[in-house]
Amino acid sequence: MSIIFDEAKGLFHLQSRNTSYVIQLVHGYPAHAYFGAKLRHDSNLEGLLTFQERASFSPNPIPEDKSISLDSLPQEYPQYGTSDFRRPAYQVRLANGTRATELTYRSHRIVPGKPLLEGLPAVYVEQDREAETLELELEDRISGLTVVLSYTVFADFDAIARSARLRNESGEPIQLERALSASVDFPDASYDALYLSGAWARERHVQRRRLAPGVTGISSRRGSSSHQQNPFLALLRPDATEQQGEVYGFSLVYSGNFTAEAEVEQFGTTRVSIGINPFDFTWKLAPGESFQTPEAVLVYSAEGLGGMSRTYHRLYRTRLCRGQFRDQERPILVNNWEATYFDFNADKIEAIAKAGSKLGIELFVLDDGWFGRRDRDNSSLGDWFEDRRKLPDGLADLAHRVKDNGLQFGLWFEPEMVSPDSDLYRAHPDWCLHVPGRRRTEARDQLVLDMSRSDVRQYLYDRLSDIFSTVPITYVKWDMNRNMTEIGSAASSAERQGEVAHRYMLGLYELLGRLTSEFSHILFESCSGGGGRFDPGMLYYMPQTWTSDDTDAAERLKIQYGTSIVYPVSTMGAHISAVPNHQVERTTPLTFRGDVAMSGNFGYELDLTRFTDEEKETAKRQIAMYKEIRGLVQQGDLYRLQSPFEGNETAWMFVSPDQEEALLFYFRVLAEPNGPLRGVKLQGLDPAKDYELAGSGEVYGGDRLMSAGLSMASVRGDFSSKMVRLKAKR
């Protein structure tokens, strides 16, 4: 790891273990020279850029040098209005109404470690020797706008973290209209774009398509990162696969409106940009004020999608997630939502907990319906007081009853929402997002609290911290079940209404930081109708997320596979639910459901008191097995072997960092008459080691398992699966 500055050549060379990123100052403009496999610093890096006069419709900012045009120069933070016609990284409106600015180099500094981002989640280091950071300061001499571009390169990860801080050094206000986190210009367009899209109960399905002239882009305008798109985009060479080929990943550490685009322009180059969605965004920068963009994490891999994913997994698992649960094995839980919905009392909850205790479950989670007068989903959000009709002796008594059965106690909240039928709304109707004189659109009979307001955040802190302090809770499920409409705040001035959506996120992050720091003994899991806010920003505060409200095992193959493109398995909540499944009405075997769920943070989402004796025995075996393997599942390296998006079979495996232990899961959705004899080739093993298959006594060389594979001919029938444990022979 190093950042080298060659002053004579105006070159900055950022090096990680296997990656180089090169910036060259060209007439003061920071030009993007290279991003890819690691280069020697003495490899004539000055020759990476080619300068040539272009057609007359590409203007020249320097009249005496016709080879320079901002319309073709690859740039680090391109601007609008001064002859680059491609997508800009930022746009401003100055006090005189003009929009043209031109950033050039003013200074730089190279610092050890990684400075924190003010008010925003970001990847971090625990010791300065883990990383180095370049802060490249640019200025527009006429307007007084300055921008500090931050680049952190890591010693142990082939990743570069980028962000920008825009500052107004003039005497007049500047209006930001676009402020992205990163922009990278690639010298050609021979790439596929890969991204993750879907809908509620169908999140993060893998999409791949070839780039073509114009813009390939994804975004969210919903006030959250959304079920529909995820704040991630990758460029892949057309021949790139899971195991080989060049891949570039762009992941945004943010939970609100975002954009990620790849623009192929007239000369066959590609500009990738990612950051806060400029749609419906403005930000007033008063003199002396700064605006910090969220962080984008860039990853280069020469080992295909799998190599890129494992870099994100290791980085996000160990240097994005925080707290005492980051490295701990996660508890096996049972959640009562699909078991009871709103119809429960203390005795029913204790009965489920008691049944779970006999099976070996470690945590009970009480879901929606315990507060206010919450008999349906049309009331009481915001009234975070226990419902004494259902729980006559209160939450603390119920928690102790659960604990007396040997289980920890967890609780569901939806703090960011308010029901119109609630005491909170009747007392403070101005506390929700709304526009004066317009209707307040409801979804699921609820409105969105205005998290940009400090009084709203203080109320939520007071209510939640009171419960956390008086009830022995070790787990919280933090839900958010609708997107934003009528985005306005009664606490903001007219000229700052365009800031509300981002200020909401800053306020939410502030509240989450306060609660998770003060109550560090609680494992927080985020949720938004399942996976509607599964993003790096939330993982900074909560190390796991409810992956999807769709608990059907066959559907979960695609959802969990797609999620793993960016996010580590330790962040994925995965539960067994009852059949017929409540979302798709499909019936699948308990073993199949278990193998899918054991590929994440394992639990149950059903009424355990209704299990048959046979089901109880199966569940006992599953729980005992998961306790043996969860360290490997949650902390091992994931290798995707067969994709559910490409056929009837899915396979993935987990390998310990020392390659001493591995775990293979194979799934077949539908049986096939007289089909070929299927097998699966393993990955990630040590080819020089021999591995024994648990329970069979069979021993195979790692080279044989990876090159010839294992037969899966014994897997028969619809919705069938097989788990294989391997241990290296000593």
What is the torsional sign of CA 83, 87, 92, 93?
Answer: positive
Distance in angstroms (rounded) separating the CA atoms of residues 680 and 12: 45
| Structure-block tokens of residue 673 | 């008459």
Residues 6+ apart with CB under 8 A from 493: none
Parallel, antiparallel, or unpaired for β 544-546 and 523-526?
parallel
* Phi, psi (degrees; rounded to nearest 5) at 729: -80, 140
Contact 668, 648 (CB under 8 A): yes
Which residues neighbour 679 within 8 Å (Cβ) at sequence distance 6 or greater?
709, 710, 711, 712, 713
Task: Report the alpha-carbon distance of residue 490 to residue 508 in Å, rounded.
Answer: 17
The b-or-e profile of 96-109 (16+ CB within 10 A means b, else e) is eeeeebbbebeebe
Are 148 and 167 within 8 A, CB to CB? yes
Nearest CA-CA partner of 145 in 173, 187, 120: 173
Give SS3 for 506: helix
SS3 684: coil
Q: Is 479 tagged catalytic? A: yes
CA distances from 324 to 119, 144, 516, 517, 542 (A): 22, 44, 11, 10, 11
**Contacts of residue 106, Cβ cutoff 8 Å, sequence gap at least 6:** 137, 138, 139, 146
Q: How far is CA 719 from the centre of its chain?
A: 29
Residue 341 phi, psi (nearest 5): 50, -125
| Secondary structure (DSSP) of 130-152 | GEEEEEEEEE-TTT-EEEEEEEE
* CB atoms near residue 697 (< 10 Å): 7
DSSP type of residue 597: H
- Single out the residue of 91, 516, 23, 46 nearest to residue 277, CA to CA: 91
Q: Which residues contact 678 (CB under 8 A, 6 or more apart)?
A: 649, 668, 711, 712, 713, 715
DSSP E strands in 66-191: the ranges are 90-93, 104-112, 131-139, 145-154, 159-168, 174-186
Helix (H, G, I), strand (E, B) or coil at 472: coil
SS3 call for 476: strand
Judge if the upstream peptide bond of residue 112 is cis by omega within 30 degrees of 0.
Answer: no
Instruction: Give the number of other CB atoms < 10 A from CB of residue 339.
Output: 22
Question: DSSP 3-state assignment of 159?
Answer: strand
Give the CA distances from residue 25 to residues 54, 58, 140, 172, 717, in Å, rounded to whole numbers and listed in that order: 20, 20, 15, 29, 63
CA-nearest of 674, 676, 685 to 709 is 685
Per DSSP, the residues of 525-563 read EE-BTTBTT-SHHHHTT-SEEE--S---HHHHHHHHHHH
| Active-site residue, selected from the candidate residues 549, 552, 595, 637 | 549
Cβ atoms of 131 and 152 within 8 Å: the answer is yes
Token pair for 175: 């209006």
| Active-site pick, 71, 158, 479, 595 | 479
Active site residues: 479, 549
